[in-house]
Amino acid sequence: MNKSTILIIILIIFCIDSCTNPTDSKSKEKVIEGNVELYTQAAVDTFTGTSITGDLNIRGSDIVDLSPLSKLTLVGGNLIIYNTLINIVGFNNLNSVGGHIYIDSNDSLINIKGMNNLSFVGGSLNIKYNNELINLEGLNNLTSITNSLVLTNNMLLTNFDGLSNLKSIKGSLNITSNEFLANLDGLNQLTSLVGELSIIGNNSLTNIDGLSNLTSAIGNLEFSFNTSLTNIDGLSKIDSVSGSVLIIGHPVLTNLDGLNNISFVGGGLNIIGNKMLLNLNGLSNLNSVGGFMGISNNDALINLDGLGSITSIQGGLILDGNDALTNLDELKNLISIGGGLDLKGNIALTNLDGLSNLTTVGDYLSAKDNVALNRFCALYLLLSTGFQGDYIVTGNLVNPTQQQIIDAGPCSN
């Protein structure tokens, strides 16, 4: 073998090791350790990483284009996007975020389509105060959130269709003050929610049918001040709530039928300020309340039908300002109240006959300003077996003392 042949062989071997395609080195993964802060468009333009172990913070008034981030596949910490973006097209290859995502206070942000490959968020997803955001279509492949989902004050957001593949939230779901949100249909694959469910102040929301596959809520269940909400039927698969249930301030809600499978509420039950609520039949399977129970200022509520299965309330019971309420007959199976019993300003209430089996009230007993109330004999069993709390009866049509009720005997007399 001559010297020329040997030289060619050496060059070939060398080139196998080192003469690779010059583009290969550019295509290799470039891991950025720790946090990355991009505060200008120039900083975005020069970013070359494919994954970040820490947080990614994008916050700059001149940032309008995130396309230079298109090779990014993983953010191990938090993803924080603030200020004046038009859209988020730069995250086309992002598939996982290990920490929280904050898309917050972007006054010109229209969409987030660049997140099409995102399937997992290891922390919470927070989309807040984006005044021009119309939809969530960039999140179509998201299936799981390890912490909470927070959607707050996105004024033009009308639906959650972009979340149509989301199946699991291992924290809370908080939907607050999205002025034009009409429905929750995009959440119809959601079956599991470990934390609380909170739907507050969404004035265009008419129904929550998008939650119809949700089977559990381990935390508070709160619906407050959704002024167009006509029903809560979308909760019909939930059978227990470990926290409290709050249905507050719905002027056109007529019934609670969506709660018809709930048998146990671990915290309190508050039905307050629902002006057109006609009945409580949706609570017909409820037998125990672990905290305070308040039914107040429901102007059209005539009776308490639906509460007939309740035998104990661990906290207090207040019935206040229900102008059409005429009787408490459906509380006939109620035996014990752990806290106080407070009956106030129920102007059509004439008798307390439904409390005839009540034997225990752990704190005070108060009946005030029920101007038609004239029949107290149902309290005989309670008062004659050693009631020790404060007794406050005033401003009713008649105001008997404890002894007068005991002397008169049970209602059968």
DSSP 149-162: EEEE--TT----GG
Taking the chain (413 residues) in runs of 10, the rounded mean pLDDT of each run is 46 42 54 94 93 93 89 94 89 94 92 90 95 92 95 96 94 97 95 92 97 89 98 94 96 97 95 97 95 98 96 97 97 97 98 97 98 98 94 98 96 81
**pLDDT value at position 1?**
55
**pLDDT value at position 8?**
41
**pLDDT value at position 192?**
83
pTM of structure: 0.89
Please state, in angstroms and rounded to a whole number, the distance separating the CA atoms of residues 287 and 303. 18
Strand locations in 74-148, DSSP E? 74-75, 79-83, 96-97, 101-104, 120-121, 125-128, 144-145
Identify whether the C-beta of residue 377 lies closer than 8 Å to the C-beta of residue 405. Answer: yes
**pLDDT value at position 390?**
97
**pLDDT value at position 22?**
42
CATH class entry, domain 33-408 = alpha beta
Tokens (6 digits) for 322: 């229900």
**pLDDT value at position 360?**
97
DSSP 297-350: --TT----TT-TT--EESS-EEEE--TT----GGGTT--EESS-EEEE--TT--
**pLDDT value at position 286?**
95
Tokens (6 digits) for 333: 């199976």
**pLDDT value at position 2?**
55
